[in-house]
């Protein structure tokens, strides 16, 4: 259970490890894009973690990174082609960011740090937790940016008409500033929790 | 003229870091001092130009004629990874001073999304060979420029009085946001 939940808040891949920032910044202009991206990452992360965990004993140590990349690239290609075939508009909107999941540090990072050392079941849970943490942050960022920037949520009108729209929020600058604030906020909350629990010794989870 | 536009477009107007968000990890990681930032910037520019020429050849001469475009992701990442390794060995053997300068940054570049992003954009924008080279050179220069500016700012941030939770990554991202605002001023330059 710890494997599943650690990725969602405490060791969130984006906010704690600062991994996978490129997609987090690029696709969060609206919630729809963010959900698509999050689901693609969960898909790729889950299956590559499972495969890598299965083959971890047979792959020689020297060529492991190269073989992980091939496994990951295969699943990314599947996701890419699936989105192109079924949601063409979405694939146009996300541009190269779906293929770029290949070099998303979250996936290679989890493969190297977790799946290559743990059994299949805990790798699955790890992938789901990390993927969920990633998707949640993505959706949260996208919601903030979409509501403030274009006044909509999931494409529907979300704020009263007199509310001003901050164009900067859907521009690149808004992405950096939103993420910076969220990272700061996450750390502030985390510090508070740590302080409260300082009596209880927390076990370091990797 | 076209080449100049592509160069400026990739370097300033659509800066890879500040408007495409590619290569954020090294942007935050090595922008802590100017020396590291310039080393990384030059190494990325160097690899970008070589990777662009190699993947252009592979895409247009092998993948397209045999109708294998769906292998693009796998092929590109493998080409980039082996290329980086090869460049590293080549420099070590034949140009040691350059290797000393760029060496430690080269392995990190394999997983730099800016390189793979560059090759994917090259395919999407359907550039010919020379255009791709200028695009790669421009993207690399833009990367170097953003990295240097950021490093310059971060040196000063170190001595600033920042609220605890925002130290490090938080303030760096917000600074990058301000930089992106500044670069937006260039967006009128190109249609």
Q: Does A113 touch chain B (CB under 8 A)?
A: no
Tell me which of A48, A92, A99, A107 to substitute to probe the interface with B (most B C-beta atoms closer than 10 Å).
Answer: A99
Q: How many CB atoms lie within 10 A of CB A156?
A: 6
CA distance A129 to A17: 14
Looking at residue A165, the DSSP 8-state letter turns out to be -
Which chain A residues touch B165 with a CB distance below 8 Å?
A: 184-185, 187-188, 191
Inter-residue contact A104 to A20 (CB < 8 Å): yes
* Shortest Cα–Cα distance, B101 to chain A (Å): 25
Q: Cα(A68)–Cα(A17) distance, rounded to whole angstroms? A: 20
Q: Nearest-CA distance from A35 to chain B in Å?
A: 19
ipTM above 0.85, yes or no: no
Q: Which of A10-14, A132-136, A164-168, A170-174 has the highest mean pLDDT?
A: A132-136
Q: Judge whether residue A203 has pLDDT over 90.
A: no
B180 touches chain A (CB under 8 A): yes
Q: How many CB pairs under 8 A join A and B?
A: 123
pLDDT band at A205 (very low <50, low <70, confident <90, very high): very low
A5-8 long-range contacts (CB < 8 A, ≥24 apart) are: A5/A129, A6/A129, A6/A205, A7/A126, A7/A129, A7/A130, A7/A131, A7/A132, A7/A133, A7/A134, A8/A129, A8/A132, A8/A133, A8/A136
In which band, very low, low, confident or very high, does the pLDDT at A200 lie, cut at 50, 70 and 90?
low
Residue A79 pLDDT exceeds 90: yes
Altogether, the residues listed in chain A come to a count of 206
Q: Please tell me the distance in Å from A62's CA to the nearest CA on chain B.
A: 14
| A90 vs A19, residue with greater confidence | A90
Asked if B165 lies within 8 A of A191 by C-beta distance, the reply is: yes
Q: Please tell me the distance from the alpha carbon of residue A148 to that of residue A171, in angstroms, as a whole number.
A: 12
pLDDT digits (tens, 9 = 90+) for A92-134: 888 888 888 888 778 888 888 888 888 899 899 989 999 999 9
Angle between helices B72-94 and A64-86 (to 10 degrees): 150
Four-residue CA torsion sign, A64, B46, B25, B22: negative
Tokens of A2: 């710890």
DSSP output for A138-149: HHHHHHHHHHHH
pLDDT, averaged in runs of 10, over chain B (191 residues): 86 87 81 81 88 92 88 86 82 81 70 84 89 93 92 87 83 90 82 57
Local confidence band at A204 (pLDDT 50, 70, 90 cut-offs) = very low
Query: Quick check: A107 contacting B, CB < 8 Å?
Result: no
Smallest Cβ–Cβ distance between B165 and the set A171, A173, A188 belongs to A188
Contact B120 A171 (CB under 8 A): no
Top-confidence residue, B30 or A73:
A73
Q: Is the pTM of this model over 0.90?
A: no
Residues 37-96 of chain B whose Cβ lies under 8 A from any Cβ of chain A = 70-74, 77-78, 81
**Cross-chain Cβ contact A26/B20 below 8 Å:** yes
A14 CB within 8 Å of a chain B CB:
no
């Amino acid at each position: 259970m710890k494997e599943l939940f650690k990725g969602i808040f405490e060791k969130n891949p984006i906010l704690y490890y600062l991994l996978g920032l490129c997609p987090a910044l690029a696709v969060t202009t609206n919630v729809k894009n963010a959900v698509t991206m999050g689901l693609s990452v969960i898909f790729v992360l889950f299956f590559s973690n499972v495969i890598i965990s299965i083959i971890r004993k047979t792959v020689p140590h020297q060529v492991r990174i190269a073989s992980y990349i091939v496994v990951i690239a295969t699943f990314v290609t599947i996701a890419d082609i699936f989105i192109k075939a079924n949601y063409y508009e979405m694939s146009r909107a996300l541009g190269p960011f779906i293929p770029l999941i290949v070099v998303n540090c979250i996936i290679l990072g989890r493969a190297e740090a977790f799946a290559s050392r743990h059994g299949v079941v805990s790798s699955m849970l790890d992938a789901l937790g990390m993927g969920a943490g990633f998707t949640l942050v993505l959706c949260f960022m996208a919601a903030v940016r979409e509501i403030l920037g274009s006044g909509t949520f999931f494409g529907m009108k979300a704020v009263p008409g007199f509310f001003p729209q901050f164009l900067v929020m859907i521009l690149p600058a808004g992405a950096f500033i939103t993420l910076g604030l969220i990272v700061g906020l996450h750390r502030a909350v985390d510090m508070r929790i740590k302080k409260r629990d300082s009596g209880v010794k927390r076990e370091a989870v990797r | 003229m076209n080449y100049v536009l592509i160069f400026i477009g990739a370097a300033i107007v659509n800066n890879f870091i500040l408007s495409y968000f590619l290569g954020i990890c090294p942007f935050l990681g090595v922008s802590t001092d100017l020396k590291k930032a310039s080393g990384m910037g030059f190494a990325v520019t160097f690899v970008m130009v070589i990777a662009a020429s190699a993947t252009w050849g592979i895409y247009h001469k092998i993948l397209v004629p045999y109708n294998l475009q769906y292998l693009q992701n796998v092929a590109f990442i493998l080409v980039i990874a082996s290329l980086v390794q090869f460049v590293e060995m080549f420099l070590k053997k034949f140009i040691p001073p350059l290797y000393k300068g760029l060496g430690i940054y080269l392995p990190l570049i394999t997983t730099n999304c800016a390189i793979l992003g560059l090759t994917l954009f090259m395919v999407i924008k359907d550039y010919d060979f020379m255009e791709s080279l200028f695009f790669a050179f421009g993207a690399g220069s833009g990367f170097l420029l953003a990295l240097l500016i950021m490093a310059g700012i971060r040196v000063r941030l170190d001595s600033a009085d920042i609220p605890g939770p925002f130290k490090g990554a938080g303030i760096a991202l917000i600074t990058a946001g301000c930089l992106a605002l500044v670069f937006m001023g260039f967006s009128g330059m190109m249609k």
